[in-house]
Amino acid sequence: MAGIYIHIPFCKQACHYCDFHFSTSLKYKDELLAALTKEIKLQKAYLNNETIQTIYFGGGTPSLLSDTEIGSIINTITEIHSVASDAEITLEANPDDLTKEKLRALKQTAVNRFSIGLQSYFDDDLQWMNRVHRAAEAESSVKRAQDTGFENITVDLIYGYPLLTDQKWKYNLDKVFELGVPHVSAYSITVEPRTALASFIKQKKQSPMSDEQSSAQFIYMMDAMQQNGFEHYEISNFCRPGFYSRHNSNYWKGAKYLGIGP
């Protein structure tokens, strides 16, 4: 049992809270993809011929890649490794990238799971985070994915920031429950060094985050998830029975994995 993580370090713009490795320029995309392919081949022996059970495209924003580019990476993996017929293949995606045309194209690839970065259903919150998409896209992207035949979907939410009242947090959770997605990842916002958010707080343009608010919203979420049939199987992750993230769960179990990319 082994997994492969592919890091795609490109974003349309920088979220104010993010300290992941990324670039807002696509200038070197082709060179990066060539390097990923080369690295996959160079690391052929690392997993000791174990069967690949999970492939995870993280970032950055992997949904910026075309279906052809994603398919090419997967094909490189399958040429070198034995990949299970029921492998979980996840693509992180921003709502604005998941058009009908893009989803139909991705349906022709081996991708069978989406991780969609909704974060909030309120435009003012999304603007505060410096997200590209807006609330209407947060809802419609999930519905489009479901209509295209993707059932294994997880969505991301963020809580604990000043704009998020308890009423808004309840609304965000209720909207996710209404959509019928089987998995939710929810994260308390953190202030990482060298991010725009840290700079705003240092310059007193932004009030500090509240641990008390974050704790209260986390507790409310745990209760709401349980009431709606979700299992709390990892600190930030909740799912309906049978929809655990196999890739992330294997990290916790200490299963072997190969990380590809910067």
Cα–Cα separations (whole angstroms), residue 186 to 4, 48, 159, 219, 221: 23, 34, 7, 12, 9
Please state the pTM of the whole predicted model.
0.96
Here the CATH number for the domain that contains residue 210 is 3.20.20.70
Residue 87 pairs in a beta bridge with none
Cα–Cα separations (whole angstroms), residue 197 to 168, 202, 213: 21, 9, 18
Q: Write the pLDDT tens digit of every residue in 105-143.
A: 999 999 999 999 999 999 999 999 999 999 999 999 999
Give the residue carrying structure tokens 């310059």.
203
The answer to whether 258 touches 4, Cβ cutoff 8 Å, is: yes
Number of domains within the chain: 1
Does pLDDT of 212 surpass 90?
yes
Query: What is the distance between the alpha carbons of residues 153 and 184, in angstroms, rounded to a whole number?
Result: 9
Q: Write the pLDDT tens digit of every residue in 148-191.
A: 999 999 999 999 999 999 999 999 999 999 999 999 999 999 99
Does pLDDT of 1 surpass 90?
no
Does pLDDT of 70 surpass 90?
yes
User: How confident is the model at residue 60, as a pLDDT?
Assistant: 93
Range of the domain at 245: 2-260
